[in-house]
Structure 1
Amino acid sequence: MTDVNDPAPNPHATAEEVQAAYADPKLANVLYHDWEAGTYDEKWSISYDERCISYATDVFNAVAGEDGQPYQHAMELGSGTGFFLLNLMQGGVAKKGSVTDLSPGMVQVALRNAEKLGLDVDGRVADAERIPYDDNTFDLVVGHAVLHHIPDVQAAFREVLRVLKPGGRFVFAGEPTKVGDFYARKLGQLTWFLTTRVTKLPALRGWRRPQEELDESSRAAALEAVVDIHTFDPSELESWARGAGAQDVRAVTEEFAAALAGWPIRTFEAAVPSEKLTVRWRMFAYHLWLRLSAVDKKVLAKILPRELFYNVMITGTKRPS
């Protein structure tokens, strides 16, 4: 269920709207994510089965622990298609859910996914800096890869704490660190350059996406540079959360070796026809990521500074009344 006053999705923005978005990060987020909503799950290999349920719950527990579960009512900020919240609910972390996103298209898809899964979820189109819910509404607020899209992250933290009940918890995951974003983008750019050049060779033309799809991907990547506003230093992110009034604040980082392999793989997959990506390939990529993630957790996390890892996760609580 959505609010009757929510705007409709706009998956086919005009050239004029796209041009205007370059000067307006919030408009860029709406247009970019409305355009991506229908194919977002496929692009990022998102599913709502044991694979992603395990990933979501493992990430949540790694930073927040299992105390307090199940939370009665959880809200996801910048939910996208519902990946984080819906999988957490299936994993028993929360009972009831609310999805919110600045993109009407994403809210629509998230609610459709929730309905297919039989989950108790409602949704609203929402600006993270002005969340349209009353004070003290939620036991838990979560988000995955959302903070780096929000112009004023500190204002968003204040809003999250406002809508949380006293003692309630927030968990944000999947945010890029400053160092991690640097090497991920460089690896992605190099992989895109090499793949699109090599697949021009006659023997490999079957591996080249049609030019119109490559052009569309290039336009999307250009707008992505507008919607991706921030990268984070873990200590700075902790400071912002505390400055908004949070307590028990803790940031954890993950993915170094996994990111060094993962970003070239994702970029390669975006540059070749989807029919070339067999089940065998997808399983290889997934199991490689699992093995490298294990190396990150068991070995590299003990010897490398947390700032070197690609993802930062942060949690905190609202002070009890």
Structure 2
Amino acid sequence: MAADPTPNPHATAEEVQAAFADPKLANVLYHDWEAGTYDEKWSISYDERCIDYATGRFRAIAGEEGWPYETAMELGSGTGFFLLNLMQGGVIKKGSVTDLSPGMVEVALRNARALGLDVDGRVADAERLPYDDNTFDLVVGHAVLHHIPDLPTAFAEVRRVLKPGGRFVFAGEPTRIGDRYARKLGQATWWLTTNLTKLSPLSSWRRPQEELDESSRAAALEAVVDLHTFDPTELETIARSAGLTQVHAATEELAAALFGWPVRTFEAAVPREKLGFGWAMFAFRTWQRLTWLDEKVLRNLFPRELFYNVMITGHKPG
């Protein structure tokens, strides 16, 4: 078997330009670029906070039947956030991480070693997975489907590598309507913050210009790697068309998303040392309360298409 490619966190201008016409190359360059700082950027951790979040998402769409799954593969694992926290939460015994980005696979395996988890990994295209038929009891992914050019082929690959009766769970995917308002909120927050911090009394809150330029370049590639938004019913149809059964999608985060996107954008626009632990706890606790509001109240009042995140699960016929 050929060795996996090595990470390339310093893409040339020519490579970046070529990536605008090649979404898979864009995904590799963007995520290799982000791999070393990705956990910090998105406040990802491998402690009780994110264990509860990951297992909560899994439980919300798939319940607790089948825990622990003997073998699981994460599709588009990034730094391993979903799989590693599900393993720590007792959902999975042995895991495999896969990602198109060598940098992300490298960081995910490093995170797994630091946590003492039984995990292997491969650089892999979701449309051509390097695993035999009927390999895994569970396939999971978080915020990955919207990066994959050919979703029907990817779902067919998920079906192929699952054992008969095996389950898939994908979470953290943007809905069509949710992505629209999230992007508008993010753009408005970025413009307001970067312009206000040009004022003399607030200049200490402005990130160095080279860091702002770097963020802007990353955002430009991000527009290339984010390929899809989803209507929950259409996503269910894609999964069923691949031969998967018992398919069900659910959505979450409305008030939480309206709060969370401006907060995350603000955090990216100011020096991290200005915020501190107090801010982090305020943001997290507020998000928790709004998530409760979404689940207990707003879910019963608004159609699922209005919420920001869509989750989906189903089985390979057994």
TM-score range, shorter chain: over 0.9
CA distance in 2, matches of 1:260, 1:25: 28
1:252 matches 2:250: yes
Letter in 2 for 1:65: G
CA distance in 1, matches of 2:2, 2:72: 21
Structure 1 runs, 4 residues or longer, greater than 3 Å off: none
Superposition map of 1:1-321 within 5 A: 5-320=3-318
CA distance in 2, matches of 1:205, 1:86: 39
Q: Any gaps of 5 or more consecutive residues in structure 2? A: none
- 2:297 aligned counterpart, secondary structure: helix
CA distance in 2, matches of 1:245, 1:283: 44
- How far apart are residue 4 of structure 1 and its match? 5.8
CA distance in 1, matches of 2:164, 2:2: 30
- 1:74 aligned counterpart, secondary structure: strand
Letter in 2 for 1:196: T
Give me the CA root mean square deviation: 0.6
CA distance in 2, matches of 1:231, 1:222: 18
CA distance in 1, matches of 2:278, 2:65: 38
CA distance in 1, matches of 2:2, 2:101: 15
Percent of residue pairs bearing the same amino acid type = 79
- 1:132 aligned counterpart, secondary structure: coil
Measured against aligned partners, the alpha-carbon deviations of 1:257-310 in whole angstroms (never above 9, x if no partner) come to: 000000000000000011112100000000010000000000000110000000
Paired residues, number: 318
CA distance in 2, matches of 1:52, 1:266: 16
- How far apart are residue 21 of structure 1 and its match? 0.1
Letter in 1 for 2:284: Y
Measured against aligned partners, the alpha-carbon deviations of 1:106-153 in whole angstroms (never above 9, x if no partner) come to: 000000000000000000000000011000000000000000000011
TM-score if structure 1 supplies the norm length?
0.99
TM-score if structure 2 supplies the norm length?
0.99
- 1:252 aligned counterpart, secondary structure: strand
Letter in 1 for 2:141: G
CA distance in 2, matches of 1:316, 1:28: 30
Measured against aligned partners, the alpha-carbon deviations of 1:223-271 in whole angstroms (never above 9, x if no partner) come to: 0000000000000000000000000000010000000000000000000
- 2:314 aligned counterpart, secondary structure: strand
Letter in 2 for 1:180: G
Q: Any gaps of 5 or more consecutive residues in structure 1? A: none
